[in-house]
Amino acid sequence: MGICSSSCTSGIYFSITSLLIGNPARGFMYLMVYNAMMFVLPLIAILAIAANRRVVDNIERAEKAGHRAVSLLAGLAMLAIGGYILPMALM
């Protein structure tokens, strides 16, 4: 677990640490299930998608076709977020 993701993912580890102290077998089982579901399975899904050449070709085609629209939407979203955050930062 890296420093950047610690604020999002550390809560479950603190909870499981308390289980490890009280009931090590149960805490270890919860730790294995959590890691499998939240880290390993998504990585396997991403690998399966990236390994399928037809899916990758479709994604590339969609990116090229809608590149301008996606760039415009992303830029507008960034402006909206900046417009929301900037007044709070200046207070």
Which pLDDT tens digit goes with each residue over 28-69?
Answer: 888 888 889 988 999 999 999 889 999 889 888 887 887 788
Contact 30, 19 (CB under 8 A): yes
Sequence-separated (6 or more) residues with CB below 8 Å from residue 51: none
Residues 6 and 45 in one domain: yes
DSSP 1: -
5: containing domain: 1-51
Residues 12 and 43 in one domain: yes
Contact 20, 27 (CB under 8 A): yes
Number of domains in the chain: 2
Rg of the chain in Å (alpha carbons)? 21
Q: Tell me the pLDDT of the chain averaged across its residues.
A: 84
Residues 44 and 14 in one domain: yes
pLDDT value for 1: 54
Residues 37 and 78 in one domain: no
Report helix angle 6-22 to 24-35, nearest 10: 150
Residues 60 and 91 in one domain: yes
Residues 61 and 44 in one domain: no
